[in-house]
Amino acid sequence: MTEMPKKNLDVVVAGAGFAGLYLLHKFREMGLTPRAFEAGDDVGGTWYWNRYPGARCDIESIDYSFSFDPELEQEWQWTEKYATQPEILSYAQHVADRFDLRKDITFATRVEKAVWDEDDALWTVTTDQGETVTARFFIMATGCLSEPKDIDIDGVENFSGEIYRTHSWPHEGVNFTGKTVGVIGTGSSGIQSIPLIAEQAENTTVFQRTANYSIPAGNGPIAPEKLAVTEHYQDYRAEARKTRVGVPGKEAMDFALTVSEEERQERYEELWAKGAIPHLGSEFADILLNEEANETLAEFVRSKVRSKIEDPELAEILTPTEFPICTKRACLDTNYYETFNKSNVDLVDIRKNPIRTITESGIATQDKEFDFDAIVFATGFDAMTGALMAVDIRGRDGQSLRKKWEHGPLNYLGLTVEGFPNFFMITGPGSPSVMTNMVLSIEQHVEWIADCLGYMADNNLSVIEPTATAENGWVDYVTATADMTLFPKAKSWYMGANVPGKPRVCLPYLGGAAAYRRACDDVAADDYLGFRFD
Ligand code: N01
């Protein structure tokens, strides 16, 4: 049974996904008293909420797991190359049970407000259940893709049928048998769920605004050579930490534009056959830097897309052209394009024929009305900053994080914010997070924070806060790094461009996990350069 929260804690953690779980474990090991508040009824975060049909990770299961405990590594057996949502959720539950973490988590409870008290050097944290606790440290471990984007289409309240959203799918599942279904959104969530919805439904109509690049997952049992890495898992993890994406693999130093056309095509064919998203943009060093180089890969994927779709008109609509490949998250699919060859699946190009409104019986576009039993919204998230700004966080002198971030998320190392003492973010904006294997990046952040708290204890320091100079320098560096790439060319959630009114800044740090780890380690080794302590 969950114990009642203690009033005075060392650390309050918001969120009990992978980040929250490891934080609790780590702090307990250090002899601290942590408590997590979790909005869901159980652990798992992203993998607790996103239960839509076909939900899977796009990082291979062998890589998408904790490395901090060799016994945990060995006892857990993944069943497929890319794990399903239920399997990843079971893994998170296993971790919670194995380390007895649930007793420090208050479920079905959202953190609503956190206020820094200057005199006592404590955070006062209030939840939506009316509980108030105090703690020396406050950590947001609320995930990068957890706050849904508001539905920005008129008339939703008028629809008399069923409405589903991929990020908060009913736990009991949905049976679409015999139903006509409309799906809005063709990002990863749409692309994963559409084939399975279409398998069940009588008729499925997909509303596409921007065609996306998707490559086939080639899912199945884990390849024996990949399974074999678990025999030397720790060395394999050490390799992962040296890479940009947090997954071992080739990091090309040669350029798409300097190898022969034949070699280029061969290497793209290999990539396509492997179905490996993390390495798609790094097959050549110039793919994410040079438009012409990028176009070679984009055109390769386009030709594959066209070859999968029987109707040439449909193929043209589904073929992505609007942004450089990999500057929006590329998708990984199972039979996505093939689904549009079915006679009971339709595609509406809402770029040409925009949605006017949701009606009582369905969706009205500019020139047609569609009737549906159910509408599925796969319309994405207020990524990276949404969950952080959903909580009313008040730092020194009552200043609000929402106000401070009005024009973009100022931060130092993607971990801390000037004016907000003893406050940390896990995989926050300004850190590599979503550009990498998230579990690896979560571990790096948790371990860095734990070391920092250890340093403070050893040196009798009670308060840490970054300087404004360090914060400005880091933000400039993150922006300059992004500006060297093609990423600003896409209207992506990486750039904050998917949410109306959101500042246009590159949210993740694009220099890669290894360079970022070195920067964080250097800061720590230099007695936490860029921070001041009280
Ligand atoms: O969200 P998205 P997602 N009218 O923002 C459309 C991770 N993830 O939930 O592109 C009409 O990518 C929007 O159109 P457009 C992964 O990192 C991972 O799918 O803005 N359409 C787009 O097509 C991923 O990138 C996995 O023109 C509207 C779609 O909705 C991230 O989560 C699985 C609209 C939103 O796509 C987000 O993915 C799932 C409107 N008003 C998610 N508003 C895996 O591990 C939005 N759209 C594989």
Whole-angstrom Cα distance, residue 250 to residue 244? 10
Query: Could you tell me if the CB of 185 is within 6 A of ligand 1?
Result: yes
Query: Could you tell me if the CB of 197 is within 6 A of ligand 1?
Result: no
Q: How far is the CA of 137 from the centre of ligand 1 (A)?
A: 34
Atom of ligand 1 nearest to the CA of 186: 23
If pLDDT is split at 50, 70 and 90, which confidence band does 224 have? Answer: very high
Enumerate the β-bridge partners of residue 139.
Answer: 13, 424
Please tell me the predicted confidence (pLDDT) of residue 92: 98
If pLDDT is split at 50, 70 and 90, which confidence band does 276 have? Answer: confident
Q: How far is the CA of 25 from the centre of ligand 1 (A)?
A: 33
Nearest to 189 by CA among 214, 160, 219: 214
Question: Cα angle at 179 between 176 and 180, to 5 degrees?
Answer: 115
Percent above pLDDT 90 for the chain: 96
Query: Could you tell me if the CB of 384 is within 6 A of ligand 1?
Result: no
Q: How far is the CA of 432 from the centre of ligand 1 (A)?
A: 19
Number of Cβ atoms within 10 Å of the Cβ of 108: 14
Spatial CB neighbours of 476, under 8 Å, sequence gap ≥ 6: none
Give the ipTM. Answer: 0.99
pLDDT digits (tens, 9 = 90+) for 440-468: 999 999 999 999 999 999 999 999 999 99
Among 85, 156, 189, 495, which residue has the most ligand 1 atoms within 8 Å of its CB, making it the best to mutate? Answer: 189
Q: How far is the CA of 178 from the centre of ligand 1 (A)?
A: 26
Among 379, 494, 507, which residue has the most ligand 1 atoms within 8 Å of its CB, making it the best to mutate? Answer: 379
Query: Could you tell me if the CB of 332 is within 6 A of ligand 1?
Result: yes
Query: Could you tell me if the CB of 194 is within 6 A of ligand 1?
Result: no
Query: Could you tell me if the CB of 381 is within 6 A of ligand 1?
Result: yes
Nearest to 273 by CA among 284, 285, 265, 263: 265
Whole-angstrom Cα distance, residue 294 to residue 88? 33
Among 188, 358, 437, which residue has the most ligand 1 atoms within 8 Å of its CB, making it the best to mutate? Answer: 188
Among 166, 209, 317, 331, which residue has the most ligand 1 atoms within 8 Å of its CB, making it the best to mutate? Answer: 209
Q: Within 201-286, where are the H helices?
A: 224-227, 233-241, 261-274
Please tell me the predicted confidence (pLDDT) of residue 4: 52
| Residue 5 in this model has a pLDDT that exceeds 70 | no
- How confident is the prediction for the chain on average, in pLDDT? 97
pLDDT digits (tens, 9 = 90+) for 280-310: 899 999 999 999 999 999 999 999 999 999 9
Q: How far is the CA of 35 from the centre of ligand 1 (A)?
A: 32
Nearest to 187 by CA among 153, 211, 151: 211
Rg (CA), the chain: 23
Mind giving me the DSSP string for 116-159? EETTTTEEEEEETTS-EEEEEEEEE---SS-SBPPP-STTGGG-
How long is the chain? 534
| Residue 2 in this model has a pLDDT that exceeds 60 | no
Nearest to 479 by CA among 500, 494, 501: 494
pLDDT digits (tens, 9 = 90+) for 305-339: 999 999 999 999 999 999 999 999 999 999 999 99
Whole-angstrom Cα distance, residue 121 to residue 79? 48
Nearest to 169 by CA among 472, 378, 444, 468: 378
Q: How far is the CA of 328 from the centre of ligand 1 (A)?
A: 10
Query: Could you tell me if the CB of 210 is within 6 A of ligand 1?
Result: yes
pLDDT digits (tens, 9 = 90+) for 502-528: 999 999 999 999 999 999 999 999 999
Provide the b/e sequence for 6-22 (b: ≥16 CB within 10 Å).
eeebbbbbbbbbbbbbb
CA 429 remoteness from chain centre: 11
Whole-angstrom Cα distance, residue 164 to residue 174? 9
To which residue do tokens 């943009």 refer?
A: 281
Residue ID of nearest Cα to ligand 1 atom 12:
187
Answer for the pair 327, 288: CB distance below 8 angstroms, yes or no. yes
Residue ID of nearest Cα to ligand 1 atom 6:
185
The DSSP bridge pattern shows strands 374-377 and 203-208 to be unpaired
Whole-angstrom Cα distance, residue 237 to residue 370? 50
Q: Where is 177: in which H helix or E strand? A: none
The predicted model scores a pTM of 0.97
pLDDT digits (tens, 9 = 90+) for 97-139: 999 999 999 999 999 999 999 999 999 999 999 999 999 999 9
Enumerate the β-bridge partners of residue 333.
Answer: 216
Whole-angstrom Cα distance, residue 247 to residue 278? 7
Please tell me the predicted confidence (pLDDT) of residue 1: 44
Query: Could you tell me if the CB of 216 is within 6 A of ligand 1?
Result: no
Q: How far is the CA of 378 from the centre of ligand 1 (A)?
A: 6
Enumerate the β-bridge partners of residue 127.
Answer: 111
pLDDT digits (tens, 9 = 90+) for 168-197: 999 999 999 999 999 999 999 999 999 999
If pLDDT is split at 50, 70 and 90, which confidence band does 145 have? Answer: very high
Query: Could you tell me if the CB of 433 is within 6 A of ligand 1?
Result: no
Answer for the pair 142, 40: CB distance below 8 angstroms, yes or no. no
